[in-house]
Amino acid sequence: MTRTVPPLHIGPLQVWPPIVLAPMSGVTNRTLRALYKPFGFGLTVTEFVSSNALQYGAKRTMEMIDQHGVEKPVSTQLWGNDPTIMALAARLVRECGADIVDINFGCPAPKVTKTEGGSACLRDVDRCEAIMKAVVDAVDCPVTMKMRLGWNENDLVFVEVAKRAQAVGVQALTLHARTAKQFYKGTADWSRIAELKRAVNIPVIGNGDLGDPYEAMRRFRESGVDGLMLGRATLGNPWLVSRLRALMEGREPAPTPDAPERLRFAVHHYQTMVDEWGETRAVPQMRKHLGYYLKGFAGAGALRERLMRTATAEETLAVLAATIAQLEGREAELAVA
């Protein structure tokens, strides 16, 4: 193996490969992190969790920060608008095993921004600084921060917030190169990520529109970032990560697996979720994941509609098994022809 890029260093932690799993609500639970880690993520991040909710220790909230251990190092991402409460939450997640505490100044979802959390914090740079300082002072592990360019196009504060982050001891930054008001529309502006990298001395992780491994490597090199964060593009396609890792290791990536192999992994994901969370919770949660795994082959739309209506794990797995057998039969016929 010949590494074509250096590791990502966050405080004393060395992350290799420098590929980070993005925090995604209702998605990056301990099961998905453990299943996706072997594909090549050097760092995984929990679902983003409310600092206010952590005060009460509810079971569902604590499950969001739970770990298997195999997916380490793990960063736990917190959101909130109160420096004191964020500091208390940071201490708690550190005690629960977080290797890194990440601050969320990036989420544009109304359920977060209506309470002045997530990307809404970017409307008050002083408050951003107070939150970051409080969290850094509260824990004995690296603190990182993820943000957007700003709340809207008229107030791009990312460089100022980054400089303040560096000054108070934040040890790495992730920039999703859209504004909060853009949500996921338009395209990520990677020139802004390059601008941020030039503006600070701590590691910068780039995020946004990284759906192709060759394009991701091009953006990595052109922007000068220290790492890449991948999120939605990996859902149903963790092979994107292994293909990007191959490029970082000086190898030509293997092609994305064919449909039967992708569906076999989907079955593994489904069964693991049922085993760990129980059928009542796993079946509805896995519907969205099956939708991702089903992209890109003939008849996927009709099959997706069918699977959205299945009520039990047994029924769902039977449909998937029949589909895999049918797809493999077609491939065998084509090979003979």
140-143 CB contacts, 8 Å cutoff, 24+ apart: 140/94, 141/11, 141/94, 141/98, 141/99, 141/100, 141/101, 142/10, 142/11, 142/12, 142/13, 142/99, 142/100, 142/101, 142/171, 142/172, 143/90, 143/100, 143/101, 143/102, 143/103, 143/169, 143/170, 143/171
Spatial separation of the C-alpha atoms in residues 81 and 239, rounded to whole Å:
36
Q: If 0-12 CB within 10 Å is exposed, 13-18 middle and 19+ buried, where does residue 91 land?
A: middle
Concatenate the DSSP letters of all residues of 246-308 into one string: HHHTT-PPPPPPPHHHHHHHHHHHHHHHHHHH-HHHHHHHHHHHHHHHTTTSTTHHHHHHHHT
Given the DSSP bridges, would you call strands 13-15 and 8-10 parallel, antiparallel or unpaired?
antiparallel
Q: Identify whether 107 is a catalytic site residue.
A: yes
Spatial separation of the C-alpha atoms in residues 216 and 56, rounded to whole Å:
40
Tokens of 288: 């969205």
> Taking a C-beta distance cutoff of 8 angstroms, is the pair 37, 71 a contact?
yes
Spatial separation of the C-alpha atoms in residues 238 and 240, rounded to whole Å:
5
Phi/psi at 206 (nearest 5 deg)? -95, 145
Catalytic-labelled residue, pool 96, 107, 128, 141: 107
- CA torsion, ordered 299, 302, 308, 311, to nearest 10 deg: -90
Residues involved in catalysis: 107
